[in-house]
């Protein structure tokens, strides 16, 4: 059998999660895909995929093979790109994972410009607030906010946003505006219940530092829920200015404790470990980074 074709087929099956999805990507019949994978499993003497009513998932051996095959295919693509010139690497499919709210507000409105710059590229944007394993998810690049949970990740910081305590004017009119971080204990907080975005925070004003743990009856796992609760005047929230950018601009939401600062929120471009980031993934990271450079710097 053609081992290169088999590797490519297996990669598409794992990333699509089904034989039919891989067949559509490869523009072949589903029986052909199933046959190639079965022959590959026979040649290797191991089971690569687990089949169930919910679809396909790689076994431990299958994931190891997928990772090696993905690296080999990427290396070949990079070699082709180098031989043909840098622009040749900007075709095909690019899979991007990104947080839902951040992407909706700050990335998706600009995606057409990126596509216009690279007319041979197809972009798959997966919006998910969870930190999904990039190799298992078939991602080329992920945008992640806050501290990275794995120091071994291949990542580059591409943006930074101030964080602040936010509330609507209507909420503050009813409950009063905090003047000191200690006053936050008297308010209902909307807690973004996500790793790296919890209730504990350190405020600073000059040389003074004030640790605070926010308290509230509502914890939300996604930024969209935090936004909805704050906009419904249910409480205050500790968030990056990115999360409420339109409302801060319109005055629908305002910052409180303006004399105090909080550690900034970092935006990272994260690439799958174990393989070189593709030219198109690096280009997308640079594109997003450029979105947050002040216009005067262009």
> CATH no. for residue 225?
3.40.190.10
What is the pTM assigned to this prediction?
0.68
Q: In the prediction, which pLDDT does 246 show?
A: 95
- For residues 72 and 141, membership in a common domain is answered with no
Domain contains 297: no
Model confidence pLDDT, tens digit, residues 27-75: 899 999 999 999 999 999 999 998 766 678 888 888 888 888 877 877 7
- For residues 251 and 177, membership in a common domain is answered with yes
Domain contains 63: yes
- At 135 the three-state DSSP class reads helix
Domain that residue 55 falls in: 3-81
User: Cα 51–55–60 angle (5° rounding)?
Assistant: 55
- Residue 36 corresponds to which tokens in the numbers above? 């190639």
Q: In the prediction, which pLDDT does 77 show?
A: 67
- For residues 283 and 191, membership in a common domain is answered with no
Weakly modelled stretches of the chain, pLDDT under 70 = 1, 52-54, 77-89, 135-137, 149-153, 194-198, 274-276, 294-298
Total domains in the chain come to 3
Residue pair 264/161 in contact by the 8 Å Cβ criterion: yes
Q: In this structure, are strands 163-167 and 254-256 parallel, antiparallel, or unpaired? A: antiparallel
Q: In the prediction, which pLDDT does 72 show?
A: 82
Residue owning tokens 């503050």 = 172
Query: Which one, of 163, 131, 129, 168, lies nearest residue 148 by Cα?
Result: 131
Domain contains 296: no
- For residues 152 and 285, membership in a common domain is answered with yes
- For residues 197 and 234, membership in a common domain is answered with yes
138, with CB counted inside 10 A (0-12, 13-18, 19+), is buried
- For residues 179 and 245, membership in a common domain is answered with yes
Residue pair 128/97 in contact by the 8 Å Cβ criterion: yes
- Residue 128 corresponds to which tokens in the numbers above? 């998910």
- For residues 9 and 138, membership in a common domain is answered with no
- For residues 110 and 179, membership in a common domain is answered with no
Domain contains 141: yes
Q: In the prediction, which pLDDT does 156 show?
A: 86
């Amino acid at each position: 059998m053609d081992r290169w074709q088999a590797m490519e087929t297996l990669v598409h099956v794992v990333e699509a999660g089904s034989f039919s999805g891989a067949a559509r990507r490869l523009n072949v019949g589903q029986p052909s895909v199933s046959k190639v994978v079965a022959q590959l499993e026979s040649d290797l003497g191991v089971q690569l995929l687990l089949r169930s009513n919910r679809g396909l998932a790689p076994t431990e051996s299958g994931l190891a093979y997928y990772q090696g095959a993905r690296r080999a295919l990427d290396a070949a693509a990079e070699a082709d790109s180098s031989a043909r010139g840098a622009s040749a690497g900007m075709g095909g499919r690019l899979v991007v994972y990104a947080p839902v709210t951040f992407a909706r507000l700050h990335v998706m409105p600009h995606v057409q410009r990126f596509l216009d710059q690279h007319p041979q590229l197809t972009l798959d944007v997966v919006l998910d607030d969870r930190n999904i394993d990039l190799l298992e998810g078939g991602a080329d690049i992920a945008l992640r906010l806050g501290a990275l949970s794995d120091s071994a990740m291949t990542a580059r910081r591409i943006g930074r946003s101030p964080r602040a305590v936010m509330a609507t004017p209507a909420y503050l009119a009813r409950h009063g505006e905090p003047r000191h971080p200690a006053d936050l204990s008297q308010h209902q907080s909307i807690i973004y219940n996500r790793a790296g975005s919890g209730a504990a925070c350190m405020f600073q004003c000059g040389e003074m530092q004030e640790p605070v743990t926010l308290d509230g009856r509502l914890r939300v796992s996604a930024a969209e829920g935090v936004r909805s609760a704050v906009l419904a005047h249910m409480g205050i929230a500790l968030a990056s200015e990115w999360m409420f950018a339109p409302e801060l601009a319109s005055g629908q939401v305002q910052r409180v404790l303006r004399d105090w600062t909080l550690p900034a929120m970092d935006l990272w471009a994260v690439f799958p470990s174990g393989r070189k980031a593709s030219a198109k993934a690096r280009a997308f990271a640079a594109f997003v980074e450029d979105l947050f450079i002040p216009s005067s710097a262009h």
